[in-house]
Amino acid sequence: MPKFVIEREIPGAGNLTDAQLREISQTSVTVLKEMGPGIQWLQSYVTGDKVYCVYLAPDEATIREHAKRGKFPANRISAVRALIDPTTAE
């Protein structure tokens, strides 16, 4: 299944409390369960004013539907074309 990186602009994201992050995560998981196995959240990275999420989904439309249902921004959705890490240099 294709992998996507979603950039979500959320002012003050880096200052959210553990409780707030838990609540956002619970909302996301609830929506994912409603949508079925065609979309999977792998992980997210919280920065100062953005959250970068990594998802598996059949297409960008599915990612947008998740964002709409969860009331999350999805400012940029990028399909992952390749994965590199330090072992790529070997």
For the chain, list the domains and their CATH numbers.
3-89 (3.30.70.3090)
pLDDT in tens, 66-76: 999 999 999 99
pTM above 0.95, yes or no: no
DSSP 19: H
Please tell me the predicted confidence (pLDDT) of residue 73. 97
Q: What is the pLDDT of residue 88?
A: 95
Cα 54 to chain centroid, rounded: 5
- What pLDDT digit, counting tens, does each position of 8-29 carry? 999 999 999 999 999 999 999 9
d(CA 75, CA 8) in angstroms, rounded, equals 5
